[in-house]
Amino acid sequence: MMTSSTNSVAAASMAVNASRARRSVLNRKLVLTLVAWTIALMMFFPIFWMFLTSFKTEAEAISTPPSLFFTPSIDGYIEIQARADYFKYALNSVVISLGATLLALLIAIPSAYSMAFLPTKRTQTTLLWMLSTKMLPSVGVLLPVYLIFRDLGLLDSRTGLIIIYMLMNLPIVVWMLYTFFKDIPKDILEAGRMDGASTLQEIFHLLLPLTLPGIASTGLLCVILSWNEAFWSLNLTTSNAAPLTAYIASFSSPEGLFWAKLSAASTLAVAPILIFGWMTQKQMVRGLTFGAVK
Amino acid sequence: MSTRASGRTVGGLRTLSLQAPAVGLLLMWMLIPLVMTLWFSFQRYNLLMPSVSGFAGVDNYYYLLTDPSLWTAMGNTLLLVGWVLVATVVGGTLLAVLLQQEFFGRGVARLFVIAPFFIMPTVSALVWKNMMMHPVNGIFAWIASLFGLPAIDWFASLPLTSVIIIVTWQWLPFAVLILLTAIQSLDDDQVEAARMDGAGPLAIFFYITLPHLKRAISVVVMIEMIFLLTIFAEIFVTTSGGPGLATTNLAYLIYIRALLDFDVGGASAGGVIAIILANIVAFFLVRTVAKNLEN
């Protein structure tokens, strides 16, 4: 009797403990949810607010206290589209970002290949030197580049910006590809060479398929950096080749007070790359870490 | 022996031909503007005064190096880079640890946190300037009024701090993205073993998580440094370097000289100084970080 009752007491207390433990796990999860979501919403708030403001009238946009509930209207979007054709700028952004990315990959792949598989004493130095070229402020070389572009007829042309963005991103692209290629065992390429594959065949039939995820993430980062670049696009284009960064600038100075329209233009300019970034973030982060995270 | 030697020569030739496009283009990209900038920096060349021209000797450098605005700009550059690095690395590490825990809606919360990284610098600067920090109609002013506090005129009274806040908001997601990936590769068994041995959450963070993140933090510092040294759009859109020189960094100072004062000679001298500085930073920083990565 005694033992069985102690047993049942022990069992009951164990059950209580277990349910208490489960409840404390749940509590912990609820607290974490609260804290994490508060921070996440704070980080996202400026973007959310910009999106919301783009559907307000100008009066609602600057009202204090801020209006959270209002009748959404797309007048802002219609007005800015009447002023400047969004699709022309968006097309320029797409062509320039993709063009610069493809060109950079094309030039960087052979270089990264030789650094990874045929390293010399100078390989590290070359890599570091390449990265150091990225630390120069663009303004320092703006005038010479402007003069050269004027003489070559590259001002306000997509080709011109493609070349600049390719050069701008080349160091990072080479470095990222190098870290991916370094992870590929040399033996695999060796085997290909034994079978009589040329360097180009080696690259195209063996190396690229093996490192496709890495190449993809490098390309994705390159597209995002090109899309968001503002300095060169503002200084080297006027209308024909102007991408979305210039589109925004055209609304920012005289329209500073028209927040609804400015928000509509901003939303249009960032929406494609934000959605693109969200869809590809898992893929992209693998490249961003430069093989440092294993 | 001889085959190996010849193999090496062939390898050398292949290295040369494979690297030639990238190295050649970057050399051109660096050298041609550099030589032209160097040339201009020794000339009297002001677009507003075409009659004044000729060799200036080191006059441009003399004016620049004795001009207090250069030192102010250098100080601002260091403050901007330093504070943003500290804020993003510390904040990014804490956020990465937080977002790694299990909670409801984790996937979507992560997407929200990393979103600012994809926003154009010009757009984020405009949104912050007009909708967040505006002294009359901004959200911050409204929040302050809820507590009966006076609104802060951010860009007038705390200009550099405001720029630092905006840039931090843009780069914090980048740090989170990298560090979160790094944390995910942390060995769960190791953490569990430490917990069994009675290690508290703080001890686990400082003795296991942080050392594990060392390489990833190096990557964050190196990449951010490359971009932060040449911050331009955020300053251009929000404060135009002002009030006075309060938010003028080196890149912006050169821009003022070149495009607002039309002083090509002076701007070029500034460019040369910036290039030298960039190389000094690159030499020390990149080398240290790269070594960290190799180990």
Task: Give the nearest partner residue to A289 out of B124, B169, B178, using CB atoms.
Answer: B178
**Which residues of A fall within a CB distance of 8 Å from B137?**
62-64
- Would you state the torsion angle of the CA atoms of residues B169, B175, B179, B181, taken in this order, to the nearest 10 degrees? 90
pLDDT at A1: 46
Please say whether the beta carbons of A129 and B27 come within 8 A: no
Q: Are A265 and A247 in contact (CB under 8 A)?
A: yes
* pLDDT tens digit sequence for A63-72: 767 777 777 7
Q: In this predicted complex, what is the ipTM?
A: 0.80
Mutate to test the interface with B, among A35, A135, A275 (most CBs of B within 10 A): A135
Residue B88: pLDDT over 90: yes
Residue range B100-127: mean pLDDT, rounded: 87
Contact in structure between B151 and B140 (CB atoms under 8 Å): yes
The pLDDT score that the predictor gives to residue B242 is 73
Candidates 2.50.20.10, 3.30.565.10, 1.10.3720.10, 2.60.120.330; CATH matching B64-114+158-294: 1.10.3720.10
d(CA B116, CA B124): 8
Does the A83-288 domain belong in CATH 1.10.3720.10?
A: yes
Residues whose CB is less than 8 angstroms from the CB of residue B252 and which lie 6 or more positions away in sequence, other chains included:
A139, B73, B232, B235, B236, B241
Residue-averaged pLDDT of chain B: 79
Q: Which range scores top for mean pLDDT: A24-33, A200-209, A283-292?
A: A24-33
What is the mean predicted confidence (pLDDT) over B10-27?
Answer: 70
Mean pLDDT for all residues in chain A: 80
- Percent of chain A past pLDDT 90, that is, above it, reads 9
Bigger pLDDT: B188 vs B111 = B111
Task: Please give the pLDDT value at position B169.
Answer: 94
Give chain B's largest Cα–Cα span: 85
CA–CA dist A148, A136 (Å, integer) = 18
What's the gap in Å between the CA of B285 and the closest CA on chain A?
10
Mean pLDDT score, A221-250:
85
> Do the beta carbons of residue B172 and residue B116 sit within 8 Å?
yes
Q: State the average pLDDT over residues A148-163.
A: 88
Which residues 75-134 in chain B show a CB within 8 A of chain A? 95, 98-99, 101-106, 109-124, 126-128, 130-132
- Predicted pLDDT at A288: 61
Tokens representing B193 are 């073993």
Residue A209 pLDDT > 60, yes or no? Answer: yes
**pLDDT tops 90 at residue B91:** yes
A256 reaches B (C-beta below 8 A): yes
What's the pLDDT at B4?
41
pLDDT at B87: 94
The letter for the amino acid at A151 is D
Residues A200-218, mean pLDDT to the nearest whole number:
80
